[in-house]
A and B are shown apart, each in its own frame.
Chain A
C-alpha cells in the first residue's frame, strides 16, 4: 500500500513510518522539519503541508492512504501559528485527499480533546462533547481540527476516514506532552489534587495506528493503553520529586525553581482527570496493549533517569524532551 504521512519528522510519526516500511508498505512523508536519519525506504518531502509542493506530492504519489500527524500543541507553538497548522493544515490534507482520490484517511488526535473538568465522567466515550474550551482556549485549534476531520465521515462517505484520540504516549523517545511535563527534576502538582493520568507506551501507540490502517477502520475512536494511574504515582515511579503547590501560587512558581511552565488552562490537566474508554476501539480491532503501566513508566525512566542531587542545586540529567 502507498501511504503518505504528514508530520513525519515527529518522533511518533517516524516510528509509524519505520514500522510500515518493515511491513512492506511504500511510505512518503511531508514535514517542514528535516529527518536526518530518514531511512532509504522512506521518501521525505520537506515542505509545509499548506504549500503547493505538498499537493504536488499527493498528485505525484497518488497515495492509497494518508496518516495525518502534522499537528502541534500549545507547548511549542504560538496561537496564530497553531491555528494555521492544526486547523488550516487538516483542512488542506482532507482537500488533497478529496482531489487526488485517496481512499483512506486517518487523523491522529489527542484525548485532551475532551478537556479536564471537575464533573466529567471517568472513561469518557467517543460520544462525549469537548469541554473546558472556555478555560483552556489553547486546545481549541486541536478540537476544531479533530471535529473537522471527523466531519469527513459524512462529507466524503466513500472514503474510509478514522479519527483516533490517543492518550499521552510515553517511552524511550521522550516525546510528547507528558514526557515534557515529567522531564525536569521537580514535577508540579496542585495541593490537594491527584488526578488519574492515562498513558500508553509509544510502541503500543504505533501498533494502534497501523492496526487502524490495516483493518480499514472507519469512525471516531478513543485509543488507550494500560490502567490509568494517579499523577503522584507517575512522579514516584519515574523518580521525580512532586512539588505540591496551592492553586493560587501556580502562576508565581511555574517556570521557576526547576518547574516546567504551564499555560493557565493546562493547570486543569493536573487538577482533574481526563480518562477515556477505548472499548469501541478494542472491539473493532482486537487491539490489546503490550506494555503495562509500570513497564511504560520504566521505559521512560530508563531513557530519562531521575536527577542526581549534588550540593544545593539539582540539575536534570535529561535534556528537555523533544517536542513536535
Chain B
C-alpha cells in the first residue's frame, strides 16, 4: 500500500489555526448526536463513558485522518439507526482495522454511530486495556453481549476470523481465513442486516513476518507479532475502508450448520470482492486522496 501525502482535503475540516481544538469540538458535537443514552454524568448502561469516548476518539480521529489517512467508500450502506452487524476482514498484527472501522462510523456517518466491536476475551484480563475497552463500548465477544446489543438496536462490529485473522503474515494479508458462523445465526435470530466491509492497509501498517506465541503467553496475550523492524509498531501506511451493500438473510438461526455455512460463505465472498475492488482501484490510482466528509 502506498503512502499518501499528509496534507489532504481533510485540513479544512480540522481547522487551520488550532486543529486539535477543532477536532475536539467536532467530537463533542458528534458525541451529543450518538444514539447512546448517557446518564447525567455521562455513562451508559454498558459502562460506556462519554469522557473516555471523547478522549479515545481524539486519538482515533488523528490516526484515521492523519496517520493512516483512511479513505472510506460506501459508508451510506450502514443503517443510520437500528441494529446491524458490520462484518469485516482482519489483517496486520492487531486490530487496526477495528479501530478504523469504529472511527469511520463515528466520523463519517451522519448521525454518528458507536460501533461495538466484540473484543477478544483476553483483553478483559489486561490492565488498562480492559478498562479502556469497557469505557469505550468494546465489550467481550460473548454471544450474550452480541444479542443484548442488537436487541438494544446498537451497531455491532464483528471479525469472524477471530485472532487467527490478525495473525496473518504480511504475504497473506489479503487472504481470508476460516469464518466463524456465530454472527450469521445471530443475524438471523435478531433480524439484523449484515454490512460486509473490507479494510485494506492493515497488513502494510504492521507487516508481520512471524508471531511469537511463547512471548504472548508470558504477556497474557495470544501472540506477539514480529515485524522486519522487530517491534510491532504500526507504520503510517494509508488505509482504505470499503463497505458493501447490506445483506439480509431469512431464517430462524436454528438451521443446520451446513445451511449456515453456505450463507457465511456468501458473506465471505462479498468481503473478498470488496478487497479485490479495493486492490484494483488502488493499483489504478495509487496516490489519489478523496475522503468523503460530512
Docked-complex contact A230 and B49, CB < 8 angstroms = yes
B40 within 8 A of A: yes
B-contacting residues, A204-247, CB 8 Å:
227-230, 233, 246-247
CA distance A228 to B254 in the complex (A): 33
By the criterion of a CB under 8 Å from any partner CB, how many residues of chain B are at the interface?
26
Docked-complex contact B47 and A228, CB < 8 angstroms = yes
B127 within 8 A of A: yes
Q: A118-B124, A121-B140 are in contact. Are A192 and B45 (CB under 8 A)?
A: no
- Chain A: CB-nearest residue to B47: A196
Please give, as numbers and ranges, the residues of chain B lying within 8 Å of A123 by CB-CB distance. 144, 148
- Chain B: CB-nearest residue to A128: B144
Q: A118-B124, A121-B140 are in contact. Are A193 and B145 (CB under 8 A)?
A: no
Among A119, A124, A190, A229, point to the contact of B43 (Cβ < 8 A). A229
Q: A227-B43, A230-B135 are in contact. Are A191 and B127 (CB under 8 A)?
A: yes
- B28-67 CB contact bits vs A (8 Å, 1 = yes)? 0000000000011101111101000000000000000000
Docked-complex contact B127 and A230, CB < 8 angstroms = no
- Report the minimum CB–CB distance from A94 to chain B (whole Å): 32
Docked-complex contact B142 and A121, CB < 8 angstroms = yes
CA distance A227 to B40 in the complex (A): 11
- Report the minimum CB–CB distance from B48 to chain A (whole Å): 10
Please give, as numbers and ranges, the residues of chain A lying within 8 Å of B129 by CB-CB distance. 192
Docked-complex contact B43 and A230, CB < 8 angstroms = yes
- Chain A: CB-nearest residue to B139: A122
Docked-complex contact A121 and B130, CB < 8 angstroms = no
Please give, as numbers and ranges, the residues of chain B lying within 8 Å of A64 by CB-CB distance. none
Q: A192-B131, A230-B135 are in contact. Are A119 and B47 (CB under 8 A)?
A: no
A48 within 8 A of B: no
- Chain A: CB-nearest residue to B130: A193
- B92-131 CB contact bits vs A (8 Å, 1 = yes)? 0000000000000000000000000000010011111111
A194 within 8 A of B: yes
- Chain A: CB-nearest residue to B144: A121
- Report the minimum CB–CB distance from A255 to chain B (whole Å): 22
Please give, as numbers and ranges, the residues of chain A lying within 8 Å of B126 by CB-CB distance. 192
Q: A119-B140, A294-B40 are in contact. Are A228 and B124 (CB under 8 A)?
A: no
- Report the minimum CB–CB distance from B152 to chain A (whole Å): 10
- Report the minimum CB–CB distance from A286 to chain B (whole Å): 20
Q: A118-B124, A196-B134 are in contact. Are A233 and B148 (CB under 8 A)?
A: no
Please give, as numbers and ranges, the residues of chain B lying within 8 Å of A273 by CB-CB distance. 47
Please give, as numbers and ranges, the residues of chain B lying within 8 Å of A246 by CB-CB distance. 127
A272 within 8 A of B: yes
- Report the minimum CB–CB distance from B126 to chain A (whole Å): 8
Please give, as numbers and ranges, the residues of chain B lying within 8 Å of A193 by CB-CB distance. 127, 130-131
B-contacting residues, A162-201, CB 8 Å:
190-196
- Chain A: CB-nearest residue to B121: A119
A293 within 8 A of B: yes
Docked-complex contact B145 and A122, CB < 8 angstroms = yes
CA distance A155 to B27 in the complex (A): 58
Docked-complex contact A194 and B135, CB < 8 angstroms = yes
CA distance A195 to B131 in the complex (A): 8
CA distance A124 to B142 in the complex (A): 12
Please give, as numbers and ranges, the residues of chain A lying within 8 Å of B121 by CB-CB distance. 118-119
Docked-complex contact B41 and A118, CB < 8 angstroms = no
Please give, as numbers and ranges, the residues of chain B lying within 8 Å of A190 by CB-CB distance. 127
Among A192, A272, A294, point to the contact of B128 (Cβ < 8 A). A192
CA distance A195 to B139 in the complex (A): 12
CA distance A247 to B220 in the complex (A): 14
- Residues of B near any A CB (own CB < 8 A): 39-41, 43-47, 49, 121, 124-131, 134-135, 139-140, 142, 144-145, 148
Beyond A192-B127, A194-B135, 7 extra complex contacts between A and B, CB < 8 Å: A122-B46, A123-B144, A192-B129, A193-B127, A230-B49, A292-B39, A294-B39
Closest 3 CB pairs of A and B: A192-B127, A121-B144, A118-B124
Question: Would you mind naming 24 contact pairs between A and B with Cβ atoms under 8 Å apart?
Answer: A118-B140, A119-B121, A121-B140, A122-B148, A123-B144, A190-B127, A192-B126, A192-B128, A192-B129, A192-B130, A192-B131, A193-B130, A193-B131, A227-B39, A227-B43, A227-B44, A228-B47, A229-B43, A233-B41, A247-B127, A272-B124, A293-B39, A294-B39, A294-B41
